[in-house]
C-alpha cells in the first residue's frame, strides 16, 4: 500500500546519489524553517534563496536516483516515503538551526565542502552527475561566500556575537569528519571515475574553513573526535521530528497527486 515506506534497491550508484540528495533536502529544510523569522529581511531572502537552491539540487538528485534504480520511484516517493533509518544525509545537516550563528557555522562547514566537492564532480564520467555538479557548484560558491562573510561579521563583531559564533563552531565541529568518510561501495565509484574521493578534499576544506574562522578571530576546537552514522541511517534524535513534519501530508493522504 502507498502508506508504507518504500523499499529502495540501493546499488552503489543509487545509494551514492541518495546520500547527496538527502544532504541537500535536509539542509534546505532546515534553512526554510527560518522563513519569516530571520534577523533582517535581507537575510530572510538569502536563507530562502539558499534553501531553494538546495531543494533544486535535491530534486535533480532524487530524480536521477529514481531513474538509475528503475523501480518506479520518483523524487517525491524518495523524499516522502523513506523513514529515518533509510535517510542517508550527514548528521551535520540535520542539526537544529539554533541561533543565527549556529545556522551560519553549519552552512560554512557544509558549503566549504560542497563547493570543492561539486567542482570536483564536474569531471565525473557520469554525465548526469557532472551536469548536476556544474549547476550546484555555482550555487554552493554563493552559499560559501554568504556564510563566510557572516562568520567574519559575527566572530569579529561584538563580544556576544563572538561568543555565540565560537560556541557554534565548538558544538558543530564533531559533525565535520563525516563529510570525508567513504564506504566500499563508494570506492568502486571512485575507481570508475563516477565519483570523487572526498578524503582528497579535506586539506583544502580545512584551509578554507581555517581561513574564515581565523579572520573571524575564532578558533577551531582541538578535540578531533568525530561523530558518524548519518550515511548509514544512524541519525541524531532530530531527524525523526524533521521527517514527521516534512512527510505528514504524504503519509496522511497517500497516493494522491498534489
Partner 1 sequence: MYTQALNTSDADDRNIEDAAHAAAFQARIDAEERIEPNDWMPAAYRKTLTRQISQHAHSEIVGMLPEGNWITRAPSLRRKAALLAKVQDECGHGLYLYAAAETLGASREELVDQMLAGKAKYSSIFNYPTLTWADIGVIGWLVDGAAIMNQIPLCRCSYGPYARAMIRVCKEESFHQRQGYEIMLTLARGSEEQKTMAQDALNRWWWPVLMMFGPPDQVSQHSDTSTRWKIKRFSNDELRQKFVDATVPQAQYLGLTIPDPGMKQNPATGHWEYSAIDWEEFKQVLAGNGPCNRDRMAARRKAHDDGAWVREAAQAYAEKRKRRQVAQAAE
Nearest 5°: the CA angle 132, 134, 137 is 100
Contact between 4 and partner 1 (CB under 8 A)? no
Rounded Cα distance between 127 and 193, Å, is: 11
Q: For the chain, what's the residue count?
A: 258
Nearer to partner 1, 42 or 237 (CB): 42
Look at the block and give the residue holding cell 537552491. 53
Judge contact between 74 and 81, C-beta under 8 A. no
Contact between 3 and partner 1 (CB under 8 A)? no
Look up residue 193 and give its three cell numbers.
571515475
Which segment (1-9, 54-62, 87-95, 176-184) binds partner 1 by CB under 8 A? 54-62
Question: Which residue from 59, 82, 231, 235 is in contact with partner 1, where contact means CB under 8 A?
Answer: 59
CA dist 107 → 12, 29, 217 (Å): 27, 13, 18
Contact between 67 and partner 1 (CB under 8 A)? no
Nearer to partner 1, 68 or 163 (CB): 163
Site string for partner 1, 114-133 (x = CB under 8 A): --------------------
Question: Which residue from 5, 10, 11, 55 is in contact with partner 1, where contact means CB under 8 A?
Answer: 55
Question: Which residue from 23, 75, 139, 186 is in contact with partner 1, where contact means CB under 8 A?
Answer: 75
| Helix 12-32 and helix 41-69, axial crossing angle in degrees, nearest 10 | 160
Question: Which residue from 16, 100, 117, 205 is in contact with partner 1, where contact means CB under 8 A?
Answer: 100
- What number of other Cβ atoms are within 10 A of residue 72's Cβ? 8
Question: Which residue from 6, 11, 44, 83 is in contact with partner 1, where contact means CB under 8 A?
Answer: 44
Closest CA to 150 of 207, 105, 217, 204: 105
Contact residues toward partner 1 (CB under 8 A) are 25, 29, 32-33, 35-45, 48-49, 51-52, 55-56, 58-59, 62, 75-76, 79-80, 99-100, 152-154, 156-158, 160-161, 164, 245-246, 248-250, 253, 256-258
Amino acid at each position: 500500500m502507498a502508506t508504507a515506506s518504500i523499499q529502495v534497491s540501493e546499488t552503489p550508484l543509487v545509494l551514492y546519489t541518495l546520500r547527496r540528495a538527502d544532504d541537500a533536502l535536509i539542509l534546505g529544510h532546515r534553512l526554510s524553517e527560518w522563513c519569516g523569522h530571520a534577523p533582517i529581511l535581507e537575510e530572510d531572502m538569502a536563507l530562502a534563496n539558499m534553501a531553494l537552491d538546495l531543494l533544486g539540487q535535491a530534486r535533480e538528485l532524487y530524480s536521477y536516483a529514481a531513474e538509475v534504480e528503475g523501480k518506479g520511484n520518483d523524487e517525491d516517493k524518495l523524499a516522502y516515503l523513506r523513514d529515518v533509518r533509510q535517510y542517508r544525509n550527514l548528521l551535520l545537516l540535520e542539526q537544529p538551526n539554533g541561533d543565527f550563528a549556529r545556522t551560519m557555522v553549519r552552512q560554512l562547514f557544509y558549503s566549504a565542502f560542497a563547493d570543492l566537492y561539486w567542482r570536483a564532480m564536474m569531471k565525473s564520467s557520469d554525465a548526469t552527475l557532472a551536469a548536476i555538479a556544474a549547476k550546484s557548484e555555482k550555487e554552493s560558491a554563493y552559499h560559501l561566500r554568504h556564510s563566510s562573510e557572516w562568520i567574519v561579521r559575527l566572530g569579529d563583531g561584538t563580544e556576544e556575537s563572538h561568543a555565540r559564533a565560537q560556541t557554534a563552531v565548538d558544538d558543530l565541529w564533531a559533525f565535520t569528519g563525516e563529510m570525508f568518510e567513504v564506504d566500499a561501495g563508494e570506492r568502486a565509484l571512485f575507481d570508475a571515475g563516477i565519483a570523487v574521493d572526498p578524503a582528497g578534499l579535506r586539506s583544502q576544506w580545512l584551509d578554507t574553513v581555517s581561513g574564515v574562522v581565523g579572520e573571524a578571530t575564532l578558533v577551531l576546537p582541538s578535540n578531533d573526535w568525530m561523530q558518524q552514522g548519518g550515511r548509514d541511517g544512524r541519525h541524531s534524535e532530530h531527524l525523526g521530528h524533521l521527517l514527521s513534519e516534512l512527510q505528514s501530508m504524504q503519509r496522511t493522504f497517500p497516493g494522491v497527486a498534489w
